């Protein structure tokens, strides 16, 4: 960060998550994961399974599919032996079922947590007997059976789940895993293709599909996969309102992103932030801080002239907005508008912007305009504030020479 940035205003406190990780780092990871998912799906469609798998693994634990369905997570946890955690997820999934079914599932889970697996399964069998058309009951029973190693019946339960609910993503995945255990990758591919179409933003499903397709190819059977690309823009639209509300409540929130190093995902990140700021401005059109924030985003997107207009609006609303005046001077200088740059920086100094970088920048403008004495005074003011300011020293010496 330059002296001008640090001197023009108190440095913003970087917004952090509970574990201390910078918020912008979380956002960067999220958008890079989306990019990895897209690339992986393209590689999968092209039959480049090893490279596709690398991309899906790179997504890591980032959830790109929205709120994860509890029952699928529970199935994964059961398969990993984490029964207590799975019970919690089953309870969440059960909240979506009718009340009578919910009671049976909770009873079964209580028995399971107590280590009474046989009784837990018996409760779900009775529940299926009472309501044979409930897809979720068949799926939950199949999941417990799979965890007990009773894969043949588990497979039948997952098949019945799909027959009752063709859009049950977790059942398609679970049935595919059963076929994987039976070393029938071709059948696994069939169900994972459907799961991927139902949940295209799920990198874990895409990775399982890739592995099954590769195994099938090794048996001499090409999978011929046509993937469904995720509609991540819809998700962006859904989160813009919340993001706009956050920015409106705390305009300094944007500062957390402005020091983000350049990445391949930069335009996507700041494009999203720009839309969110515009939504925030719809509700608070006379917020100088929001207009300034919008300008910073526009600048990051490589649109300096639009950024100037946005900051001018901020200054029009708040004529004593020193930080905006300083930044406006920088932008005017960068766009070869020297007179405007001088005017705005002089205003900032009049309002108390006694910062070394401001004087140095103003000195350069005076020097380039042929006003050597004013330039000399500006450089000396910079050195008065920061005696070790090498650039100001060199500029002053060059004037003397």
The string of pLDDT tens digits covering residues 50-68 is: 888 888 788 776 666 543 2
Question: Among residues 247, 181, 248, 249, which one has the least CA distance to residue 215?
Answer: 181
Q: Give the C-alpha separation, 187 to 125, whole Å.
A: 27
Give the DSSP per-residue string, 254-323.
Answer: GHHHHTPPP-TTHHHHHHHHHHHHHHHHHH-TT-HHHHHHHHHHHHHTT-HHHHHHHHHHHHHH-TT-HH
Identify the residue with better confidence: 199 or 106: 199
pLDDT of residue 366: 93
pLDDT of residue 375: 92
The string of pLDDT tens digits covering residues 7-50 is: 332 222 233 333 334 455 666 677 777 778 878 888 887 778 88
Q: Give the C-alpha separation, 246 to 268, whole Å.
A: 19
Give the pLDDT band (50/70/90) at residue 358.
very high
pLDDT of residue 6: 34
pLDDT of residue 26: 62
Burial label for 114, CB within 10 Å (0-12, 13-18, 19+), is exposed
Give the pLDDT band (50/70/90) at residue 320.
very high
Contact 178, 151 (CB under 8 A): yes
Question: Among residues 276, 254, 282, 264, which one has the least CA distance to residue 15?
Answer: 254
Q: Give the C-alpha separation, 222 to 15, whole Å.
A: 49
Contact 277, 294 (CB under 8 A): yes
Q: Give the C-alpha separation, 399 to 19, whole Å.
A: 52
pTM: predicted TM-score of the whole model, two decimal places: 0.52
The string of pLDDT tens digits covering residues 231-265 is: 655 555 556 676 777 777 776 667 767 766 666 66
Q: Centre a 10 Å sphere on the Cβ of residue 362 and count the other Cβ atoms it contains.
A: 26
Compute the average pLDDT of residues 88-110. 59
Q: Give the C-alpha separation, 228 to 199, whole Å.
A: 9
pLDDT of residue 367: 92
């Amino acid at each position: 960060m330059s002296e001008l940035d640090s001197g023009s205003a108190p440095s913003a406190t970087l917004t952090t998550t509970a574990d201390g990780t910078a918020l912008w780092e979380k956002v960067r990871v999220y958008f890079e994961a989306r990019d990895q998912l897209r690339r992986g799906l393209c590689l999968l469609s092209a039959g480049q399974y090893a490279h596709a798998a690398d991309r899906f693994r790179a997504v890591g634990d980032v959830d790109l599919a929205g709120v994860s369905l509890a029952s699928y997570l529970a199935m994964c946890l059961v398969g990993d032996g984490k029964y207590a955690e799975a019970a919690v997820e089953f309870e969440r999934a059960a909240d979506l079922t009718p009340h009578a079914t919910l009671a049976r599932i909770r009873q079964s889970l209580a028995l399971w947590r107590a280590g009474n697996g046989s009784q837990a399964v018996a409760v779900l069998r009775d529940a299926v007997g009472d309501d044979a058309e409930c897809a979720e009951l068949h799926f939950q029973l199949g999941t417990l059976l799979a965890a007990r190693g009773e894969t043949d019946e588990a497979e039948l339960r997952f098949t019945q789940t799909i027959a009752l609910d063709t859009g049950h993503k977790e059942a398609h995945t679970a049935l595919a895993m059963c076929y994987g255990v039976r070393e029938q990758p071709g059948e696994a591919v069939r169900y994972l293709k459907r799961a991927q179409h139902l949940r295209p933003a799920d990198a874990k499903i895409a990775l399982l599909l890739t592995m099954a397709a590769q195994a099938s190819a090794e048996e001499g059977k090409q999978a011929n996969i046509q993937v469904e690309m995720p509609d991540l823009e819809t998700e962006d639209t859904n989160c813009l309102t919340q993001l706009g509300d956050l920015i409106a409540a705390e305009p300094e929130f944007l500062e957390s992103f402005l020091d983000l190093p350049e990445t391949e995902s930069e335009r996507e990140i700041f494009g999203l932030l720009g839309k969110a700021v515009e939504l925030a401005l719809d509700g608070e059109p006379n917020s100088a801080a929001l207009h300034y924030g919008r300008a910073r985003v526009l600048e990051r997107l490589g649109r300096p002239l639009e950024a100037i207009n946005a900051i001018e609006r901020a200054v029009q609303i708040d004529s004593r907005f020193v930080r905006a005046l300083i930044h406006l001077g920088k932008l005017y200088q960068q766009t070869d508008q020297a007179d405007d740059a001088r005017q705005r920086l002089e205003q900032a100094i009049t309002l108390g912007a006694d910062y070394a970088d401001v004087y140095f920048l103003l000195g350069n403008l005076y020097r380039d305009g042929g006003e050597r004495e004013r330039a000399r005074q500006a450089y000396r003011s910079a050195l008065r504030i920061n005696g070790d300011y090498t650039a100001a020293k060199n500029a002053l010496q060059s004037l003397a020479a």
